[in-house]
Each structure stands twice: as C-alpha cells, then as structure tokens.
A and B are shown apart, each in its own frame.
Chain A
C-alpha cells in the first residue's frame, strides 16, 4: 500500500492558486479564532468535514455481507459473516468500527450509500479535485466551501483547517479559509526577537513568494502563544478524561493525527468561536495491496477519533450543534486484485453524525453485479449531500454555490 498520504500532492494539482494558499495558510492563529468567541448566533450549526485521502474501500467499510457477490468478488479480502458488526440482515460495519456501530444502534449514525458522480475519474488527484470543487465536468479553481465563504462575507475564520496546508475545498474566488498551524512548541532559538520582527515586514514590489516568506515570521510569533492559549482554554471539566491521546500537541505540522485535529476543533467549538466549517483529514487509504489489515488500522483510528469527538460534543450546548460528515475521493473496485488489495473504484459511502442527523440508511445500495466496467454505479450524486449540508447545516441557499444543483438527500435531517 501507499502508506503515505496523498493530500500534500493536492498542492501541486493546481486547483488552488498560490494566492489563495498564501491568503489562508498560516495567516491566522488560534488566538484569532478564540477572539471571535461569542460572535456567533448560538443557534447556528457547525460542519466538521472529515476527508479520508487515498480512496477508502467502501465495501469493506459498510459491508454487504449477505450478498454472495461480495464474497465471490473478493474471497481473500471479504470479511466473514461472524466478524462483521451487523447493522441489519444485509449490511454490517467493519470490525474496527466498534464505536460507530454503537452509535448506529442508538440512532446516531447516518449512512448515505452509493455516493458518487457521473463519469467517475479514477485518478486520486483528479477525483479529489472533483470532490473539493464539486465540479465533476471540469474542476475549476474554487472549492465548494470556499464559494460558500465568498458569500458568507469572506472572513477566513469562518472556515478553518488544522491541516498544515489549506485544502482546496476551502479556497474561494475572493476569499479563502484559514489554515491554522499546529506545530510543536520548540521556540526559535538563536536569533533575537528583534530580528524576527524585522523580517516580518512586507516589502513593496517583491514577489508573492517572498512576501509569504516574510509573513511566516509574523505568523511564527503567534504560534507559541496559540498553543498555550488552546491548552489554557481547555476547561478541564469538559475535556475527555478517557482520551488516549494527550491533547493537541502534534509531532509535526504535516503529520497531525486526526484525533489531535478534532481535539482542536472541540476546543474551538466549546469556546464558541465564529467558525462554521472545520476541515480535518486522515490519509493513507490507498490500499492497493495487503489491504485488509491496513484499512482496519486506519478505520480504527477513524472510529476512536470520531466517537471520542462525538461523545465530547454531546456534553455541551455548542457541541450539540455540530454535524460531522466523512467521505473519501472514491471507493475501490468490487473485485480484489492479486495483491489482496483493490484498485481505484467509484461510488462509496458518506457517513454523518451529530446535530439533527437522522440515523439509519439513506440512498439506495449500489448493486454488486450490475456494474459499470467493474465498478459500482453511483446511486446518490455527491452534490445532493453537499446541497443538503449547505441548506441544513450552514443555512445557505445551495444554488449559487453548486451551480443551481437541485438534488437533496431527503430526510437526512
């Protein structure tokens, strides 16, 4: 398998111009977010979008265990009936998804099945561009939530990522979300503070890249303070005492684990910041070979991070207004390849939990035998999901954001 995350390559895919990246990346600190505490309408909801990079194998996530075609297509890779965490007589969850299974039983997990788009593209990079831009015919250079941000006033603090680089989905035409850096606390040593301050000054007429290099010095000054702030702002009474992971301090900006990202989201939500959209991610799902074990490890991480977050969110008023949506750029082939892995496929599941989400099944399961060139035929357009989230979570008319897309996922909320 590609154990690496594909996410970083999105930067070179050209979806986001350097200008948008420069506008967002690192330009805001957590203090800037926390300064917005109390600015929001307490009734408004928050969207947390979880991107699984690499193409998560949907058929081994929500498993059609009762369908003989499932086992026939991937004998080595299929989970036996006894191992599947049963959802009903036909479907079950991957054994690693214990927490989500429990949530399903309590009516707190929605699964939209067969989500995809016409004429699927099996390149990671292009397919991820399509999901980020919501423009399957020709991915442009704005993300769907970036376009929402343009219309919501353009304050970058409304749409935040704790990833080291701004994901394309948060880049709008006139504005961009904020990539808030999460770095270790090792302060810069050796050079006097006055030097760092002097480097932070903008210089008329220099290239955008040099301007960004100078802006990094300005950002750096707030980082150390930011990490301290988030620690101090964490109310010990509301912090999850059972959390396996110490909060938030990642080992390196580019490798922030999902639970640490969600931990920061939780602290922001609890502080009542103005942010309406958080983007977080987990990479490594490109399981061309020896998939079963690797996917289980990743799904285990996802399960622990999501259920820990959801439990914590359920304890506060602000937390109970949060909706989480989980997706990947495509599923994988129905049939296994020779390497006990699967190659890039098409339609897959979107998982939702949180405020007002109606648990249970949504959309129709794709057939495992009526295939499009070896791949599942999608049954729900991904823009239906986006439009529903825009309307029901972000209280926005999806029309201008999604090129007048009419479809919705009925009864999702």
Chain B
C-alpha cells in the first residue's frame, strides 16, 4: 500500500470522508503523523464553531396540563416534531462542517452504541442533552461515560428507567446496560440483571424540565450481589462496578473495531486502552486494520456526509426541497440520525446492500450531483474527457476503479453530473 493509499484509508475510516485536499495534506505528513493529528483535538474548530448546537425552547409538552385541549396537544406534538427535525438537520450540518472529523465520527459511533431513539424519547432537548454527554465523555475513559449515561434522561426514558422502582423493578435498562453497552452477552447472569435493576431504581425524569432526578423513596437501598460483589449499590456504584470489569473495555473495543475496521475481520487482542482515544489509536495502528481496506460497507450516514463534504455541499445552504430530499434519502436507506432502529443499534455490512437501498442511493446520488458546487464540478471538467474517471476517483477519494466500474463510468465522461452520480453509487465508493 502506498503512503497515499494508507492515509486515505485512515481518513476514510476515522472521519466521515476526507476531501482530496485533506488527503494531499495527510500524504505530505505521512501515515504516523496523520494518526497523531487525527487523534489530537484541535484547539479551535471553525467548522464546529459555525454550526453551534441549537438552543431549543422548552419542551412544548411542558406547557400541557390535564385540561389541555386536543388541539393544544396536537400542536405540541407538531412542535416537538419540528424541534427534532431541526436538531437532525443541525447534526448533519455539523458532521459536514467540523474540522475535527474524528471526534464527530466518534460521537456518531457512541450514538449508535447507546442507540437511543427519538421515536420514543420524543423530546429534542433530551436528545441534544444525550449527545452533549456523549461528546463530553466520548474520548475519555469508560467509567465516567457509563456513570453519566445511567443518569442520562434520554436513556432513562428510552429504556423505561423512570418506571423502575423498589416495589416492582423494570429490568430493561439493567439488562441492556450489561448486554449491549458494557459487557456483552455471557459476561453476567440473570441474577445480575435482577440485582442491577434494583441498583438503578429511583431515577426519574422530570418531563417539564428535562432533568433526571433521584427519588430516594423509589430506590431500593438494600444489599445487592452483582457480578460476585456485595454492597448497597446505587446507579453510580453499579456503573463503576461494570466498567471495572476487564470484559467492559474489551467489549467496547470490539464494538469500536466492528465499526471502524468492519465485521469481517476479528478484532485483534489487546486493543483496549485506558480511554477511548487510546483504543481508537490501537485500532488505527493495528496491522489487521490496514488489511481491511476495501471491505467495509459505508453506513448510509457515512456515505451521505462524506459525499456532501467531497462535493462541497453545505446542507444548510440548500433550498428546503433539496434538504428534504436528502433526509428522505437517509430515511429510505434506513439510517436517520437520532432514530436507531432498536436498542441493538444499526446493522452493518451486507445488510446495507439490498436492492431497495440501491434504489435509494441512486435517487440520493442524483440529488447530490445536482447540488454539487460549481467549483467542484469545474475540477472534474478541467480534466480532458478521457481523464475524467480518474479525476472523479481523486475527488471521491477512491484509490482506484476496477475495470468493471471504469467501463461503467467512461461513457458518462461527457456528462459530469451523471458521472458524479455514477461514482457515488459505484461498488468502490459504497464499500470503503
């Protein structure tokens, strides 16, 4: 693998999709320095600063009372949907604009890991609050992250934590916390689930203020035996107990590997570091990681955000019609940010490669090609017709076209927007 191929591979996986200029710069720096630069958070990020987290008005539901009319409720519902739409659009813009691509992609990883959906949470403020928690702790050690998440209002609502009381424990959160978020199946027993649910009792979410609050009367203060240890564990102590298990770091490292290297290659031993950034460093530096080039099916959000960056499109600058088409595309591709399909998160690999997803990619690629910035299109048309497939590969950061794809692209060289659309749906671009 050449240095250019090596850094392009790093950037494609660690961020949402690099531009050709970013690959040029990384090639000059070399692979080792590129890993360092990716992992170091810049002091300032102009892209992030230009796309600040929206300040939302209070949850419209907070205004409702028992006496509210049906119309008032409908209006509150409509307002809630509008707020969620606004947050979804903001997040897409942020993903495209941010200079610190690694941190943005990592945030999306954590979102899929904790897999909390607005479909049930419904409040945009709670969803934004969870993203902020994930952003605050996402690069650091696992302990503080899990301790913050067991008190996260959106997660509590999503997994019925507010309904988990001393009198009648609800095991939903306790089980998924161990099975999907920290330990993985097989590393705990059914008794641990039951005891864990008792430790988590007492947390409720005030839907008016959107704040999670501990109500001692609902908490079970008794002795619990969890994972071989006894104590009067509460939520925080339980979280600490989980993240102290060696299985937790290994499990989470495996999940990171699954997303960054792909489901095809087993995770090598010893990836887990002291914090998440150290683990990501171990993944990007692993020899097996380099060998996964050309095997990872891009998730729809990765595919779209990468294309938006490479084609110079800022979704916020598009007319409403096109913004809607892009979101409709993600919906048809079955991956809308803030709406994971289940607590198990989004699927991976070949699951994204179906005929119906290809239809959605074709439609969305057409929208993207039509919205491509003239300056970007000019780079393509600056090349002589015969050289345009190669210019396209450079633009989309594809290492090389196969003979098959070159044969498909060549007849379109005279129609640059169609050429772009074809590049976006090609197997080489879809699978990175």
Judge whether B170 and A12 touch: CB under 8 Å.
no
30 contacting pairs across A/B (C-beta < 8 A): A9-B341, A9-B347, A11-B351, A12-B345, A18-B350, A25-B350, A25-B353, A164-B354, A165-B347, A181-B355, A186-B363, A188-B359, A189-B366, A190-B421, A192-B411, A194-B411, A195-B408, A199-B404, A199-B408, A209-B296, A213-B427, A213-B430, A288-B171, A337-B169, A337-B170, A338-B165, A339-B163, A341-B170, A343-B172, A373-B190
Which of B359, B402, B408 is close to A220, meaning CB atoms less than 8 Å apart?
B359
6 additional contacts (CB under 8 A) given A206-B402, A206-B427, A212-B350: A190-B363, A192-B412, A198-B404, A213-B427, A223-B359, A336-B168
B7-57 residues with Cβ-Cβ distance < 8 A to A are none
List of B residues within 8 angstroms of A6 by Cβ: 342, 344
List of A residues within 8 angstroms of B373 by Cβ: none
Judge whether B354 and A4 touch: CB under 8 Å.
no
A298 at the interface (CB under 8 A from B): no
B206 at the interface (CB under 8 A from A): no
Judge whether B347 and A8 touch: CB under 8 Å.
yes
Complexed CA–CA distance, A232 and B348 (Å): 35
Which of B170, B341, B353 is close to A343, meaning CB atoms less than 8 Å apart?
B170
Judge whether A338 and B427 touch: CB under 8 Å.
no
A190-210 toward B: CB 8 Å interface, digit per residue (1/0)? 111011001101110011111
Chain B interface residue count, Cβ-Cβ cutoff 8 angstroms: 68
Judge whether B294 and A206 touch: CB under 8 Å.
yes
Judge whether A341 and B193 touch: CB under 8 Å.
no
Which of A126, A186, A337 is close to B168, meaning CB atoms less than 8 Å apart?
A337
Judge whether A4 and B348 touch: CB under 8 Å.
no
**A/B pair count, beta carbons within 8 Å:** 223
Judge whether A183 and B356 touch: CB under 8 Å.
yes
A344 at the interface (CB under 8 A from B): yes
| A133 CB to nearest B CB, Å | 15
Chain A interface residue count, Cβ-Cβ cutoff 8 angstroms: 66
Judge whether A188 and B363 touch: CB under 8 Å.
yes
| A400 CB to nearest B CB, Å | 28
B185 at the interface (CB under 8 A from A): yes
B285 at the interface (CB under 8 A from A): no
B346-384 residues with Cβ-Cβ distance < 8 A to A are 346-351, 353-359, 362-363, 365-366, 369
A105 at the interface (CB under 8 A from B): no
**B412 and chain A: residue at smallest CB distance:** A195
Interface positions of A (Cβ within 8 A of B): 1-6, 8-9, 11-12, 18, 21-22, 25-26, 122-123, 125-126, 164-165, 181, 183-184, 186-192, 194-195, 198-199, 201-203, 206-214, 216-217, 219-220, 223, 252-254, 288-289, 335-339, 341, 343-344, 373
| B1 CB to nearest A CB, Å | 15
Complexed CA–CA distance, A233 and B51 (Å): 54
Complexed CA–CA distance, A339 and B168 (Å): 8
Interface positions of B (Cβ within 8 A of A): 117, 119-120, 159-160, 163-165, 167-172, 175, 179, 185, 190, 193, 258, 263-264, 294-297, 332, 334, 341-351, 353-359, 362-363, 365-366, 369, 402-405, 407-408, 411-412, 418, 421-422, 425-428, 430-431
| A170 CB to nearest B CB, Å | 15
List of B residues within 8 angstroms of A373 by Cβ: 190
List of B residues within 8 angstroms of A220 by Cβ: 355, 358-359
| B175 CB to nearest A CB, Å | 7
Complexed CA–CA distance, A387 and B428 (Å): 45
List of B residues within 8 angstroms of A164 by Cβ: 354, 356
| A211 CB to nearest B CB, Å | 8
**A19 and chain B: residue at smallest CB distance:** B350
Judge whether A213 and B354 touch: CB under 8 Å.
no
Judge whether A12 and B348 touch: CB under 8 Å.
yes
**A190 and chain B: residue at smallest CB distance:** B366
Which of A21, A212, A341 is close to B160, meaning CB atoms less than 8 Å apart?
A341
**B174 and chain A: residue at smallest CB distance:** A343
**B351 and chain A: residue at smallest CB distance:** A11
**B294 and chain A: residue at smallest CB distance:** A207
